[in-house]
Structure 1
């Protein structure tokens, strides 16, 4: 689907989608618990659907039930992993979180599991797990380190070490499974851990589900064994990585109020609020954040702990005065697309001045953008960032492949229209 946007400033109130990151974690924790749990306030997406389908293949019973939050989904989860009679073949679609979180869960289930993926996920790195598999004598087969991956073996308590500069998702996968083993384990990063806030989010979620993780003084993790997940009712909080698009839009257009957010969240992307303020933007409120039109100034932005914000931060920097440098962003080249190259390429088509560096971007602010034709790169965050940029375009903006928002935020275009955005599907 290609969308044709007639530039118009956005204004109004919008509820943030629920956190996809926390939704994945809550569903997995519920599936690992004995008994019945309810996970409410989930914004349906392709990624969440992939996680549910694989958990069901591993033995959990997951049924969608009416939600107490209008427009959202709730899931009743009857937990428990089961060894199946035949090898399993499962598909993570394009969800890196689903794949990396559930590989250890698949091993824990006792099944022989073949993991498949779509798009760039099939090529995204899994080397930290392969190192562990070799050390722990867990059988696996893969072609050139890519999907499909077949794995079968036994997770045993002990010492685990893996690189922390590829993705924090490997740490989350192990932190979720190691507490269920028969003895204590120790998890250590062999490099400085990037995106540490996502690991903190995991530990916060595990704590709510009754699991204890002890962080050592040197940044490693002690995981007591023989633990049990606690079943119960869980409500997923709003997503700051998605709210970032609307808060940025309000800063560049007219006032936008974004509701449903938890103050002092464990989500690293909550930093979008302080980044906008540091650039000179005005954001007011706590659980209801209102972003007001502001004159922004360029600055150095370190995204090591908030890589998902890079596309929309590049839009903000393009519309700011002076020069912005985005640093420590090399890992976003390994997302659904090479996000550094994609956002630089598409914004430059519209008259921006964005230079690529190996680990970041240099953005020279411009007074405005032209219209034109751009690609969403089959990447939800690229397409949504370009939609925000449309407010500063002087002519019509066409975004090709705009349906890619379904990966994380299927209601994006409806919310865009509710805030005054003018778009239509291209004939």
Structure 2
């Protein structure tokens, strides 16, 4: 499914949201680093999760699918040795930035060459923060002018690791996976205020579940003390629901009739849970229940949205802002330019084709809301980005005329069942090519 026509219709019903891709990566990696057998259930399979599974297998970890206890989901039986051992010389990270950045420190501690390859925009996504660390560690690495393929060859030494706080939190998490396995104690020093701190908190929570101790010294400039000679403990676990995916359905309910996103955890550390607070500030008709959130159709108002700790929900919140009363300002969103695509440019370009009024700024967006709705009647493109594709699908509800979406298949990166769920709540699509 590459090109589809979406006929405007108001969505109504209940969607069981996928499990968290962010937590899925973390649970699978921790289980793979443990000595023994872990069963990880409630996995929503996607290309990104498959990439993490591939890399673990290349590090001599057994990863097998077994029947899930939850209908429509997957479970993995993971048997690790307690320390990664190279069983291949090349690993394919697909288009998953999480997979690549989580595994580079582990790959740099194998004592033999390991080459990371990728596809799409992942080939050129920034890795300089790791290059600076590897230089200080005297670990050999080779790349193509800063791009993939990247070969690392060496052994990390315990000690001090410094990272600026404005880089992706994935760099911090990658070090947190690797440093407990070293022979001595280490510390990670964040030299400027840490952005996307909730993602690091998710990593720390997962590490603790698998028996790893890290002392987190809070404050604007964080410092993490990581004792060495630790061992991950095998653990059976169930992955929690994904708030970044639930956001598509909460906004869909506001633009449609009424949509319930079920399978979410209100105690979650996921930063994308902020969608609830943001939509409430925008006066959305939102109600919470145990494990679910329901949003009914209703007028919404503009607000200021700080993207620093919830970048993944910005594309879909841009859609909501486009049909809200007033002018919404999205700030601290510069890192959206280095995702699967430049998401600020993508949402500006494609929503404006539908009749929205979005102005692109260096670090954000200004959206002049059109409460009367959008005209539609245009062909838009997903920019090979799953979150752009899903956001435009939700935006179609607000259009007077059908839209044609190119790149609809990009949803497989994180949410392969999106179109199935979209039609289950009344969405109307026609496959064109």
TM-score category by the smaller chain?
over 0.9
1:2-401 correspondence runs (5 A): 2-80=3-81, 81=83, 83-84=85-86, 88-218=89-219, 219-286=222-289, 287-366=291-370, 367-371=372-376, 372-401=378-407
SS in 2 for 1:44: coil
What do you get for the CA RMSD once the two structures are aligned? Answer: 1.0
Q: How far did residue 84 of structure 1 move? A: 4.1
Mapped to 2, the partners of 1:165 and 1:91 lie a distance apart of 27
Cα separation, 2, equivalents of 1:129 and 1:162 = 9
Distance change (3 Å), C-alpha of 1:351 and 1:82: closer
SS at match of 2:116: strand
Alpha-carbon shift at residue 65 of structure 1 (Å): 0.2
CA contact (8 A) 1:122 1:146 kept: yes
Tell me, yes or no, if the aligned pair for 1:58 and 1:109 is still in contact at 8 Å. no
SS at match of 2:78: strand
- Whole-angstrom distance in 1 between the partners of 2:64 and 2:303: 47
CA contact (8 A) 1:214 1:221 kept: yes
| d(CA) in 1 for partners of 2:32, 2:331 | 38
Mapped to 2, the partners of 1:283 and 1:233 lie a distance apart of 34
How far apart are the structure 2 equivalents of 1:264 and 1:111? 42
Give the drift of 1:313: 0.8
Q: What is the rounded CA distance, in whole Å, between the counterparts of 1:364 and 1:84 in structure 2?
A: 53
Moved more, 232-241 or 159-168: 159-168
Q: Distance in 2 between matches of 1:414 and 1:82?
A: 38
Checking the alignment, whether the CA contact within 8 Å between 1:131 and 1:162 is kept in structure 2 is no
2:84–2:106 contact (8 Å) kept in structure 1: no
Point out the more displaced range, 237-246 or 191-200.
191-200
Distance 2:419 2:375 in 1: 21
Whole-angstrom distance in 1 between the partners of 2:233 and 2:103:
19
Give SS of 2:233's match. coil
Q: What CA distance in whole angstroms lies between the structure 2 residues aligned with 1:389 and 1:264? A: 29
Contact 2:262–2:293 under 8 Å retained in 1: yes
Number of residues paired by the alignment? 426
Q: How far apart in 2 are the matches of 1:310 and 1:377?
A: 16
Distance 1:18 1:149 in 2: 30
TM (normalized to structure 1)?
A: 0.98
SS of 2:108 mapped into structure 1: helix
Alignment gaps of 5+ in structure 2: none
Structure 1: runs of 5+ lacking an equivalent: none
